[in-house]
Amino acid sequence: MSLNVGRLQVVTRNLRHLRGRGFGGSWDSRCQAVRAQSTLTSDDTHNHSPLPSTSTPDPILAEDEPVLPELDKSKPLIYTQPPNPLWKPGQRSENEKSDVKRKLWNMGDTTPRDAYKLMTSAIVPRPIAFVSTISSEGIPNLAPFSYFSMVSHNPPMISVSFSLSKWRPKDTRENILSTKQFTVNMISESFVEAANATSVESPATTDEWILSGLTPEPSITVKPPLVQESAINFECELYSFQDICAPNSSRITTTVMLGLIKHVHVREDVLDESGETVDPGKLRPVSRLGGIRYGRLTDAFELPRIDWSNLGGVYNGLLG
């Protein structure tokens, strides 16, 4: 059965709408809920009938839903002026909205589910660590994590956090704790769908490399392989970790891991002219937003570093 891109996008938005209303469950169960909302019969649900023709109203798809445009792969990274190039120290923002009410969340009374929805939509964009590990039994694992950041350049170090489930351990976490090794691979536009496929909750014996179609490449000092399709790869050893519990609880809900970077592999075609730094326009990185949204980098601007020797007098003038 074929399904064009526009129709698939509308179905996905219907599923996302249900999830936003608090409807969890598996992909199949959410699909069934969409169908139920659309008054499909049980025969339509279970017999995999072909989709109606374009001349027949489709009960699953809202007719007024816009079809998303295709992604423009040729769009380059463009450098522009900053948002307020004439701004001066002490000048109030033109977009200040002091009269707009703020909604308040008391995080002590907020459920983990609602905290997740709020924080992952507010703390954006987030870089994505595509983590490759191998279990102590030799089983490979590949998964993306957006609770990820650079910690330090001296020593070179990154952090990755893992949210833990009540029902099963996080394979990546368990593998790193047992072997003390992992690689982090940066995700670009060209293989983001393949990377997303590895986020599926699957049995521990599942080989995500096969599922994604991505290519493992040997590392130099650690056993977990690099992702060949990734333009930047970090070989890491576990430096330290911290298990975190919610206040007044002994159940571990999160583990923060620090990885000491042993080697960095950078494909030469994403380096700038100096050969010493990465050109973001060539890397075409992908970031995580809230929900099932992702972002790409198509606009950027530069701001000069501020020198206090030039700003000190201006500051004293503002003090009067």
Rounded-to-integer distance, Cα 1 and Cα 51, Å = 8
DSSP per-residue codes, 168-209? S--HHHHHHHHH-EEEEEE-BGGGHHHHHHTTS---TT--HH
Rounded-to-integer distance, Cα 239 and Cα 235, Å = 12
Rounded-to-integer distance, Cα 18 and Cα 252, Å = 29
Q: Is omega for the bond preceding 59 within 30 degrees of 0, making it cis? A: no
Q: What is residue 133's predicted lDDT score, i.e. its pLDDT?
A: 97
Q: CB-based burial of residue 125 (10 Å sphere; 0-12 exposed, 13-18 middle, 19+ buried)?
A: middle
Please, what sign has the CA dihedral across residues 68, 231, 195, 262?
negative
> What tokens does 1 get?
């059965």
Rounded-to-integer distance, Cα 63 and Cα 33, Å = 19
> What tokens does 180 get?
């003390």
Q: Do strands 126-127 and 252-266 pair parallel, antiparallel, or not at all (unpaired)?
A: unpaired
Angle between helices 5-20 and 27-37 (to 10 degrees): 100
Report the half-sphere exposure of 194 (CA within 13 A, side-chain side). 19
Contact 163, 146 (CB under 8 A): no
Nearest to 241, CA basis, from 142, 154, 175: 175
86-113 burial code (b ≥16 CB/10 A, e <16): eeeeeeeeeeeeeeeeeeeeeeeeeeee
Q: Where are the alpha helices (DSSP H) in the chain?
A: 5-20, 27-37, 42-46, 112-122, 171-179, 192-197, 208-212, 280-283, 308-319
Q: What is residue 165's predicted lDDT score, i.e. its pLDDT?
A: 86
Contact 128, 142 (CB under 8 A): no
> What tokens does 179 get?
């072997």
Q: What is residue 95's predicted lDDT score, i.e. its pLDDT?
A: 67
Digits of tens for pLDDT over the chain (320 positions)? 333 444 444 444 444 444 443 434 443 444 344 333 333 333 333 333 333 333 444 444 455 678 999 999 999 999 999 999 999 999 988 766 778 899 999 999 999 999 999 999 999 999 999 999 999 999 999 999 999 999 999 999 999 999 998 887 899 999 999 999 999 999 999 999 999 999 998 887 889 999 999 999 999 999 999 999 999 999 999 999 999 999 999 999 999 999 999 999 999 999 999 999 999 999 999 999 999 999 999 999 999 998 999 898 899 999 98
Q: What is residue 45's predicted lDDT score, i.e. its pLDDT?
A: 31
Q: What is residue 63's predicted lDDT score, i.e. its pLDDT?
A: 59
Q: Strand 148-153: give its sheet, edge to edge.
A: 140-145, 129-134, 181-186, 232-245, 252-266, 156-163, 148-153
Q: What is residue 179's predicted lDDT score, i.e. its pLDDT?
A: 98
